[in-house]
Amino acid sequence: MATDILFDLDGTLIDSSPGILASFGRVLAAHGLQPAVPLEASLIGPPLATTLRQVSGTHDEALLARLVEAFKQDYDTAGYRSTEVFPGVAAGLAQLAAAGAHLFIVTNKRMAPTRKILDALGLARHFAGIHTRDETEPMAPSKAAVTQRVLERYGIDRGRACFVGDSDEDAAAARENGLYFIHAAYGYGAAGIKAGSLRLDRFEDLPGLIEGLEDSLDYFP
């Protein structure tokens, strides 16, 4: 069993799209705006300000700042409550933890709703660390930077660790930190399957997939 497994959150462990998209819609309407692009799950993943700039179409930095704050207020009180766990996640995390793996969250999501969601869904207890871009001041510039900080903080052996995520950004965070990438193909992202990485179609297959890697001669490049 891999010693350390880093997980993206949205689109990998949880389906947060209903709540996020509803919050986007309410915030835009409250500011007299129409969505500049369709409000769909593929938007989810990048930092909040980046996505709000895209969905609002605004180039007004002051307006964008107001939209960001309005979204935080709406999502942290109402939107997050619509989050659901993907099938197989709860049992799969419990199985991995019981087998001795150390599990970590690495997400662009802010810490406040991340904690609320993990606590509400009963998942927080499985993780040795929960890490976000906004847990430091200044905010981490990227998910890759958060990943690097996690590896250094916990003394993680890159040769015995992997990153599980659904997006190109997740794949990049793994690649830039020398981690094996497992693509959660059921998620929101469009991460391509590069040579040497694995495709995960159902979360319940992850424990067996990781165990299988240990029997491979090319385990974790």
119 is catalytic: no
Angle at 167 between CA 70 and CA 193, to 5 degrees: 170
d(CA 152, CA 214): 23
- 86's tokens: 């993907």
d(CA 103, CA 96): 8
Three-state SS across 28-68? HHHCCCCCCCCCCHHHCCCCHHHHHHHHHCCCCHHHHHHHH
d(CA 104, CA 81): 22
| Catalytic member of 8, 10, 15, 166 | 8
> What is the set of active-site residues?
8
